[in-house]
Each structure stands twice: as structure tokens, then as C-alpha cells.
Amino acid sequence: MEPDDWVAAPLELSSRHATTITSRTTANTSSRRTQYTRGGNGPEGRIRLLTSPTVTATHSDLWHHRCDMPHGPAYRPLVAWYDAAARDLPWRRPGTGGWEVLVSEVMLQQTPVARVLPVYAAWLDRWPTPAALARDSVGDAVRMWGRLGYPRRAARLWQAARVIDSDFHGEVPADLQDLRSLPGVGEYTAAAVAAFAYRRRTVVLDTNVRRVLARLVLGEQFPPRSLTSQEREVAERLVPDDGAQAASWNIAVMELGALVCTARAPRCERCPVRELCVWRAEGYPAYPGPPRAGQTYAGTDRQCRGRILATMRSCDGPVDRHTLSLSWEDAVQRERAISSLLDDGLVVQLGDCALALP
């Protein structure tokens, strides 16, 4: 399939009452106002525009009336693009269960796919089920986590495995409320597991999805820093009612954000729904909010904690504080990091001078 075969056609309007659609950038120059009603004329989801002196049309308005998925304008080209261009990732393959998806989603939080892949494979080789992980210690989980960062995720995953084993007969639940009851599982992770493992209709809103929908539907370069009710409403309108189709839509939008509609260098010429994109139609307006500063790592307590844990993982048993002092020069910051690791339960104190993984 050639890339142009994926591209959605520009929005079509019922010719009987069609009128010119003005963008936000030119709305002030037009006195025409319009009112929208569903056309009800076939699977393409066309709309009628009835002339009225009171309602101004914008590109974004069109999306709010063409969301009868999967018959809306974006579903087919986007899912077709995904089928042809998506990465072959182990947690997306047929037959992948709830445990595999849960492990992948926890590992992928703020961590690149390339770093996750080897740890994911090793983790599931050792712990193919929640029960297998529950039988080992949290220290084993932290050690296996390696250098993925944010090691509390390993402890939370271990805690979740114990709850799954004891309360859900060893099977990752499919119900959203049950998923949210697991340690470390929030709104996004629960929705992702329900969608991708069990083909349930959920609204999956990660960073990539939020950015795609902000540009495609709302005409904004970036979404707000915190998830808003408007974002939820837009996403809810776009997700198909059928569970399998909803899962296909969610993963396709997510992949588009990861590969094409990226934060720093969007590749609009490769986008299968570029003809529908409000941000593109309005001339790529810049993000109006404050500068989006990147996260720093060098010299932070996070880096110090990582060095200490790396030293402890490299040793078979307890590690004395003198050995740990070799991993970080600043004694005050080192002690602060050790105290936070103790508070998080990622290390334990043995006597006055030694620490160990739990």
C-alpha cells in the first residue's frame, strides 16, 4: 500500500446546503454563521450546514459532528496506516494477555521503547505470570528492573502481582474498576490494559494520544499540561462503540503520535489524516502557553538514587556505606537519596553501616 492510499479525503459536505467553512484565523472577517445537524446520509458521516445568522463555523466544529466512529473520516485511513506502518512490538502481538500488557505499560511509563524491550523479555522469561513474581521478593523485582529508571514501578508491579494472585485467581482483571484497585495502576494504565488485552471500549489518553487529538481536532500544537474535561470529551466522541474497533483506534492514534505527530518534529507529509488536521488547516499556530522545559537528569537526586541502586544490584549481598560513597561524591545528597530509597521500601537497613535490596 502506498502512503497516499492511507490519506483521508478532505471533509465532504452535503452539496444542497454547503457553505464556506472559515478557520479561526479568518473567522472575524466573515459574517456568515452556520448551524450543524447530522445529515444521516450514509456511512461517510456527512453533515448538513444550515445557514443561520448566529453560529460561526470553524474547522474544529466539523469534528464535533463527524465522530460517528468507525464511519467517521479518520478511522479507516488511520487504522490502515497503522496496519502497514506500526512497529512490531511483543506486547502487541496476537495472543498477548493481560499480564504481558500490564508489564509493558508499567515499563513504558516515561521510558523509551528501545530501553524497555530487553528488560521486558527478561522479566517475562523469569516471571511469565503474576503468581511467579508474587513468589519472589520485591528486591528481586528491583534488581531485574535494571536501569529502566523510576524503580518504584518495579515495587508497585510486584505489589500488583501479589494482589492479582490473591484476589483475582492469578489473572489480570479486565474490569476498569478492578484494574484501578491494583497498586500503581492509574486511569491510563487501566484503560490501556482493558483495551489492548481484552478489547474493551475505553478512552486511552497518554501523552502521544493527547498531542495528536490536540492538533487534529482542537487545532493546538500541544495539549494542556494537565488533562482537561474538553480533552476527555473529544476523545470519548472519537472512540468507536465496538470494543475491538475502539482498541484499533486507540493504538493507531498512539502510534501516530510516537512515529509521525511527534512533539518536536511532526512529519505531516506522512500523516494519513493530514487533510483533516485543524492545526495544519489553520497554519500551525504556535503553542500559546509557557515554554515547555525539558526534564533535567544530570546531578539530580534521581540520578543519585539510580547510581546507588546500580551499585547495590551489582553486589550479591549487603553493601556497606563506604562502598556506596564511591557511587556519589556529594555526601549530603547521597544520604538524602538513601533516606528516600529507605522510605520507598526499595532498600532496607542492615545494622548501622549496611544496606540491602529487600
Is 358 within 8 Å of 346 (Cβ atoms)?
A: yes
Is 33 within 8 Å of 54 (Cβ atoms)?
A: yes
Is 102 within 8 Å of 172 (Cβ atoms)?
A: yes
Q: Among this protein's residues, is 105 annotated catalytic?
A: yes
Rounded to whole angstroms, the Cα distance separating 59 from 52 reads 17
Question: Angle at the Cα of 43 (from 38 to 45), degrees rounded to 5?
Answer: 30
Backbone angles phi, psi at 189, to 5 degrees: -60, -40
Q: Which of 12, 44, 105, 233 is catalytic?
A: 105
Rounded to whole angstroms, the Cα distance separating 69 from 238 reads 6
Q: CA dist 227 to 72, 172, 210, 254, 257, Å?
A: 24, 27, 8, 16, 17
Residues annotated catalytic, as ranges? 105
